[in-house]
């Protein structure tokens, strides 16, 4: 299961330490071909058109909308204690501290040209570590594997934010699934799972929420 360590205040964010792992046999299939190799790369977009992010004008926020600093805490009523508490609810992505997770020395990939390549290590960062949940991101570089781990008493939910089509393979228990950008999956309590990115060129990025069991606090 995951272990978490808060970063020093001047660094911001939360440091994410690594996990209990369990060796598993690597899947035997080749990495998918990047879109540009198939001639399917996105065509150039004229400046000012939707999709050309660098040329888009900044959004116009109404002057009547009062904006707060992201570090401003939000007050809420804790129904368990009956007290009002304050929490930070915004975390800028620039504040996240990426940590390299332990690799799987047995994991290897076969590239498009038949070369056998050692799996690259993955990275992760936690944005929030609350009494009830932990949220953050997992980054899978090209040809990388996040080793098998058990969710223990927690439930984990993942959303693929960025990935080559059908390049992310997740193993939940003894079942294997391929995922693309925008796909979701979750892992029940006391279940083993692992993730791999079979793309040779594009990193995969997944957001996660780990829901803690009341017994784990």
Digit-coded pLDDT (tens) for 33-76: 555 444 444 444 444 444 555 678 999 999 999 999 999 999 99
**Angle made by CA atoms 168, 179, 94, in degrees to the nearest 5:** 65
pLDDT score at 30: 56
> Please, which pLDDT band fits residue 167 given cuts at 50, 70 and 90?
very high
Digit-coded pLDDT (tens) for 106-165: 899 999 999 999 999 999 999 999 999 999 999 999 999 999 999 999 999 999 999 999
Encoded tokens for 166: 């059908």
Digit-coded pLDDT (tens) for 6-18: 444 444 554 454 4
- Count of other CB atoms within 10 angstroms of residue 22: 12
Enter the pTM of the model.
0.74
């Amino acid at each position: 299961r995951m272990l978490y360590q808060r970063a020093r205040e001047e660094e911001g964010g939360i440091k994410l330490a690594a996990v209990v792992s369990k060796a598993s046999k690597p899947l035997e299939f080749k990495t998918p071909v990047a879109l540009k190799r198939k001639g399917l790369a996105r065509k150039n977009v004229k400046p000012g058109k939707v999709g050309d992010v660098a040329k888009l004008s900044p959004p116009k926020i109404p002057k009547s909308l009062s904006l707060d600093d992201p570090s401003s805490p939000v007050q809420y009523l804790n129904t368990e204690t009956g007290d009002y508490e304050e929490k930070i609810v915004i975390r800028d992505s620039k504040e996240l501290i990426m940590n390299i997770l332990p690799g799987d020395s047995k994991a290897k990939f076969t590239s498009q040209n038949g070369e056998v390549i050692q799996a690259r290590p993955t990275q992760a960062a936690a944005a929030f570590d609350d009494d009830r949940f932990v949220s953050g991101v997992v980054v899978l570089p090209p040809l990388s594997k996040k080793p098998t781990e058990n969710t223990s008493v927690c439930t984990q939910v993942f959303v693929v934010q960025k990935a080559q089509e059908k390049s992310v393979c997740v193993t939940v228990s003894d079942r294997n699934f391929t995922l693309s950008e925008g796909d979701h999956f979750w892992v029940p309590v006391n279940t083993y799972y692992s993730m791999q990115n079979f793309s040779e060129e594009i990193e995969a990025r997944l957001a996660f929420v780990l829901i803690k069991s009341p017994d784990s606090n």
